[in-house]
Amino acid sequence: MKVAIGLGCSLGPRRRMLELTVQKLGAHPGLRTLAVSRWYRTPPMRGGTALGWFANGVALFDCALSLDDLLATTRALEEASGRRRSRHWGDRTLDLDVLLAAGARREDSSLTVPHPGIAQRSFVLYPLLEVWPDAVDERGLRYADFAEPDMPRPAPIGIMPRPKAR
Ligand code: AMP
């Protein structure tokens, strides 16, 4: 089953965190990396408490796991990153979302797939379309045909700030 995972980070060396996370996901025996989007630089969401800018992107995997096992895997990576989750939409070292799984639809207390925020969040929609141009929602509608989200289009990251050498 083809699955898309959204990645975000707003603390520390962001791109490195996201690249390491993609490597770790791809090293899981139940996942094989198919494609990784460019990384995008995104201002914090309106209404949230995050102060820092986010690096966001989307990775595509061939997935042999159940959605529950996939969620457990992404949660474990978030925890291992030392993620702080005290605040709604606050700064975080790692945020992983199960965005889309080919042919799968799920809505319960632990998981909503397709992720309901895809079409409204430009930092999710554009990297998703980069790796999965013909992605469709639960009604079979192509995300590429949706209206542009009402937020600025994120810019792909060129050179990221690196931690200063001591
Ligand atoms: P958040 O604070 O946005 O990272 O929310 C994390 C929780 O949202 C997870 O522990 C999941 O149980 C739940 N959740 C619901 N749908 C999804 C999804 N598509 N991907 C990831 N987490 C989800």
Closest residue by CA, ligand 1 atom 1 = 95
At residue 93, the pLDDT reads 85
How large is the average pLDDT for residues 135-140?
Answer: 95
Q: Which atom of ligand 1 is least distant from the CA of 85?
A: 2
Range in 17-21, 71-75, 98-102, 149-153 the model is least confident about: 149-153
Q: Is 111 in the pocket of ligand 1 (CB under 6 A)?
A: yes
The CATH class that applies to domain 2-158 reads alpha beta
Q: What SS3 string covers the chain? A: CEEEEEEEECCCCHHHHHHHHHHHHHHCCCEEEEEECCCEEECCCCCCCCCCCEEEEEEEEEECCCHHHHHHHHHHHHHHCCCCCCCCCCCCCCEEEEEEECCCCEECCCCEECCCCCCCCHHHHHHHHHHCCCCECCCCCEHHHCCCCCCCCCEECCCCCCCCCC
Ligand 1 in reach of 33 Cβ (< 6 A): no
Q: What is the pLDDT of residue 105?
A: 95
Q: Could you tell me the pTM of the whole model?
A: 0.88
Give tens-digit pLDDT for 69-122. 999 999 999 998 875 555 555 667 899 999 999 999 999 999 999 999 999 999
Domain ranges of the chain: 2-158
> What value does the mean pLDDT take over residues 134-138?
96
Count the alpha carbons within 13 Å of 101 in the hemisphere toward its beta carbon: 20
* pLDDT tens-digit readout, 53-70: 889 999 999 999 999 999
